[in-house]
Amino acid sequence: MTLKRRIAINIAIAFSVLFGLAAFIIFYAFSSFRIEEFKQRLEEKALTTAKLLVEVKEIDNQILKLIDQNSINKLYNEKTLVFDQNYKLIYSSIDDATISWNIEDLQTLRKEKTFFRSEKEKDLLGIYYDFEKTDYYILISAEDKYGYNKLDFLFLTLLFTFLAGTLLVWFSTYFFIERLLKPLDVFQKQITNISVNELDIQLYETSHNDEINLLTKAFNILLSRIGSAFQSQREFTSNASHEIRTPLTRIAFKVENLLQNPTHSPETISSLKSINDYVHQLSDLVNSLLLLSKINREDAQKKFEKVRIDEVIFLANEKVKKIYPNFDLKFEIIVIDEIELSMDVLGVKSLLEIVFINLLKNAYLYSKDMRANIVIEQIASHQLQINISNEGDILNHLEQEKLFEPFMRGSNSSNINGSGLGLRLSKRILDYHSATINYQAISPQTNLFKIIFSN
């Protein structure tokens, strides 16, 4: 999940929780207010009825019932009962409604003077009334129809407002955060397009003093430092390699001249050949280091063209046979009827030639019979697979994991000259060609390198 979405969702959730809490508090407060307001109305109606019944002698029960029936403050589904001090009913309103009561309610009124409870849709209020040292108990029940209607209307209003507000906040928050973090998207696109050859560019800086602009300034400073470090490294590698190659070439030339002198003893000739091998090994190491430092993906891909991979392998084989004349290569192409075979891959011919030279050298040096097998097959319409195998000692699991690391040499290379950079260089070249290479020990005495090109 992106940072923009996380921020928008967190803000929207926080707003929803706060808005929902506020709506709940409003609804709860109004519900409590409705109860208190309706309780007050019941109390006023109950006391009015009691006073008319007890204090006004001219009004009897029939007249009082008539007054209740035509009262301007008549409550919905109302029922009023008045009891004397002996719990005897002395007045009942004319309404058809009923009140659920018992003697315990009246006894409670004697002790607590009042009580209030809700029964289903009706509210019941009990009041103790004292007049001229005589106790009266009043029970009044009614339904707060208008109060509940207002409560339902408030609930629907709050619910609609909550849903509409939440949706509005979710969308508006994401929109504003997207606009606010747009410079970060621009920053991300700019740094994604930076390559090794473009470390000297500077990202666009705005006049704002916000965190994103400060990050851009810091990144520009970092780019300058990295660019300087890369330039120093390249110059050192190039100069060092050039200075080392010159004396190595002179040494190799002198040794070859000495080898052509027939007056040297066999021991001298053997020593000169060993020196010559060491010089060539050191020269290969310097060339590999120089190539590793210079090659990069952008430069390689600019020179891409269609290359026939079988021709590259034949050229590599010819160069390997000049170094090792007794090297034997078995070449095979597997054709699948369902898939059209294409030997063309996109790449740089000279770089791919280095890959197969290194692999064929390894196949010769680490084989028991100085032979290698190459099998080419089209495994998919856009995938070409090349298998290079030989018979020899295999690598253990730890060595297989580190096989393509620089200067990595296995336990089977104790008596074999090498720099440990050939496979590393080959893998880097294949990475630039969007190809994969991996090693497998397919049997206790068989090594296999599998290369897959995807075009």
- Residue 2 phi/psi, 5° resolution? -75, 160
Let me know if residue 95 belongs to a domain: yes
Let me know if residue 160 belongs to a domain: no
Q: Is residue 180 within 8 Å of residue 212, measured between CB atoms?
A: no
pLDDT at 309 exceeding the cut of 70: yes
Domain with residue 227: its CATH number is 1.10.287
Mean pLDDT of 209-228: 78
- Buried residues in 5-38 as b, exposed as e (16+ CB within 10 A): eebbeebbeebbeebeeebeeebeebeeebeeeb
Length of the chain: 455
pLDDT at 373 exceeding the cut of 90: yes
Pair 308, 273 in one domain: no
**pLDDT digits over 400-448, tens only?**
888 888 776 666 666 666 666 778 888 888 888 889 999 988 888 889 9
Total domains in the chain come to: 3
Instruction: Give the model's pLDDT for residue 452.
Output: 93
Mean pLDDT of 62-69: 52
Mean pLDDT of 119-131: 82
Strand partners, 389: 373, 448
pLDDT at 189 exceeding the cut of 60: yes
Instruction: Give the span between the Cα atoms of 178 and 419, in whole angstroms.
Output: 53
pLDDT at 31 exceeding the cut of 50: yes
Instruction: Give the model's pLDDT for residue 72.
Output: 43
Q: Pick from 150, 168, 196: which residue ends a domain?
A: 150
Domain with residue 140: its CATH number is 3.30.450.20
195: confidence class by pLDDT, cuts 50, 70, 90 = low
Instruction: Give the model's pLDDT for residue 174.
Output: 81
Instruction: Give the span between the Cα atoms of 144 and 122, in whole angstroms.
Output: 7
- Buried residues in 251-265 as b, exposed as e (16+ CB within 10 A): bbeebeeeeeeeeee
Pair 337, 288 in one domain: no
- Percent of the chain residues topping a pLDDT of 70: 82
Instruction: Give the model's pLDDT for residue 451.
Output: 94
Residue type (1 letter), 248: L
**What separation in angstroms does the CA of 167 have from each of 14, 15, 160?**
13, 11, 11
**DSSP codes joined into one string, 204-269:** ---S--SHHHHHHHHHHHHHHHHHHHHHHHHHHHHHHHHHHHHHHHHHHHHHHHHHT-TTS-HHHH
pLDDT at 109 exceeding the cut of 80: yes
Pair 302, 269 in one domain: no
Instruction: Give the span between the Cα atoms of 127 and 338, in whole angstroms.
Output: 98
Let me know if residue 339 belongs to a domain: yes
Q: Pick from 293, 313, 344: which residue ends a domain?
A: 293
pLDDT at 234 exceeding the cut of 80: no
Q: Is the pTM of this model over 0.85?
A: no
62: confidence class by pLDDT, cuts 50, 70, 90 = low
Q: Pick from 239, 262, 293: which residue ends a domain?
A: 293
Instruction: Give the model's pLDDT for residue 219.
Output: 80
Pair 447, 310 in one domain: yes
Going by their DSSP bridges, the two strands 371-380 and 328-334 should be labelled as: parallel
For 85, residues 6+ apart whose C-beta sits below 8 A from its C-beta are 134, 135, 136
**What separation in angstroms does the CA of 38 have from each of 52, 116, 156, 158?**
21, 11, 21, 22
Nearest to residue 399, comparing CAs of 417, 413, 415, 389?
A: 413
Instruction: Give the span between the Cα atoms of 376 and 378, in whole angstroms.
Output: 7
Long-range contacts for 403-412 (Cβ within 8 Å, ≥24 apart)? Answer: 403/439, 404/437, 412/366
Sign of CA dihedral 281, 283, 286, 292: negative
Nearest to residue 116, comparing CAs of 17, 225, 32, 19?
A: 32
Let me know if residue 181 belongs to a domain: no
Radius of gyration of the chain (CA): 49
Higher pLDDT, 442 or 229: 442
Higher pLDDT, 436 or 7: 436
Instruction: Give the model's pLDDT for residue 22.
Output: 92
- Buried residues in 96-108 as b, exposed as e (16+ CB within 10 A): eeebeeeeebbeb
Q: Is residue 197 within 8 Å of residue 296, measured between CB atoms?
A: yes
Long-range contacts for 317-322 (Cβ within 8 Å, ≥24 apart)? Answer: 317/356, 317/360, 319/353, 319/357, 320/357, 320/360, 320/361, 320/364
Pair 263, 314 in one domain: no
**pLDDT digits over 329-370, tens only?**
999 988 877 677 788 888 888 888 888 988 998 888 888 888
Instruction: Give the span between the Cα atoms of 61 and 91, in whole angstroms.
Output: 7
**pLDDT digits over 137-184, tens only?**
888 888 888 888 888 899 999 999 988 988 888 888 888 887 877 777
Let me know if residue 20 belongs to a domain: yes
Pair 281, 331 in one domain: no
Mean pLDDT, rounded, of the chain: 80
Mean pLDDT of 292-313: 73
Higher pLDDT, 292 or 216: 216
pLDDT at 101 exceeding the cut of 60: yes
Pair 27, 105 in one domain: yes
What 8-state DSSP symbol labels residue 94?
A: S
Enclosing domain of residue 392: 297-454
For 155, residues 6+ apart whose C-beta sits below 8 A from its C-beta are 27
Pair 241, 132 in one domain: no
Instruction: Give the span between the Cα atoms of 84 and 134, in whole angstroms.
Output: 8
Pair 23, 142 in one domain: yes
